[in-house]
Homo-oligomer: A and B are copies of this chain.
């Protein structure tokens, strides 16, 4: 039986401040936990129902520091989900530093004040699908280790580096090094007509406010997804995950980088 203190500690990791101090986060769900295990990510604590543990190849537990076997009720209490799965794990936050020359050397994504955890998770998923390795978030974006972000990213977090940085400083450097900054905005040119590059930064703005005023001067190319029927009122926008998928698709297609 898992101790009350440990339960309390794990629940406290739902709070960003605690995550930042402890450098730990929670992953949840059989599939996600198995993906982390298979990727040989070191795991501090694996908390799971006996059924899950008994079916787990021992080879996968080599990188697990401690295992707690719990009942459904215990798991439900610890879980952030309404209906918990069979497993949950506490994982150290990876400590990696952004290497701007590597980031600038390929297509990357900058996110300005993305607030919704589901949106950030979906954006990471889209980036992973389209082979984009780096996402730079403004410091006021939702925390990538928020359990809802991890849930929505569906394991894609294992394939994409997510950094938090002062975007203004990043863009000053990009401008200096003549790395294009593609701002997605209503007054941009159609992505279907605009020349897109296989290098540069795709900047996506906040869900309702778009790109912050202070970042606008650094944009070197303004792009947008045209709405099919301009006359039609009431279709405000695609959500940011859908818009990003379309933009990434068009960048990759134009660069001819797609596999057959």
Give residues in A with beta carbon < 8 Å to B.
Answer: 35, 38-39, 122, 125-126, 128-131, 154-156, 158-159, 190, 192-193, 225-230, 232-239, 241-243, 245-246, 249-250, 252-253, 257-260
Contacts and interface: CB of A to CB of B under 8 A. Distances in A.
SS class, residues of chain A in contact with chain B: loop
Copies held by the complex: 2
A258 B130 CA distance: 23
Contacts of A228: 129-131, 252, 257-259
A131 B232 CA distance: 9
Contact of A190 (B129, B154, B258): B258
Q: Which of A128, A229, A242, A253 gathers the greatest number of chain B CB atoms within 10 Å? A: A242
Nearest to A249: B246
Nearest to A35: B234
Given A129-B227, A242-B122, A253-B192, A159 B258 contact: no
Contact of A156 (B38, B126, B235, B258): B235
B125 A258 contact: no
Nearest to A228: B131
Nearest to A252: B228
B35 A159 contact: no
A226 B125 CA distance: 14
A228 B131 CA distance: 5
Contacts of A226: 258-260
A155 B234 contact: yes
CB-based closest 9 A-B pairs: A131-B228, A242-B245, A246-B249, A128-B235, A155-B234, A131-B229, A35-B234, A130-B228, A245-B246
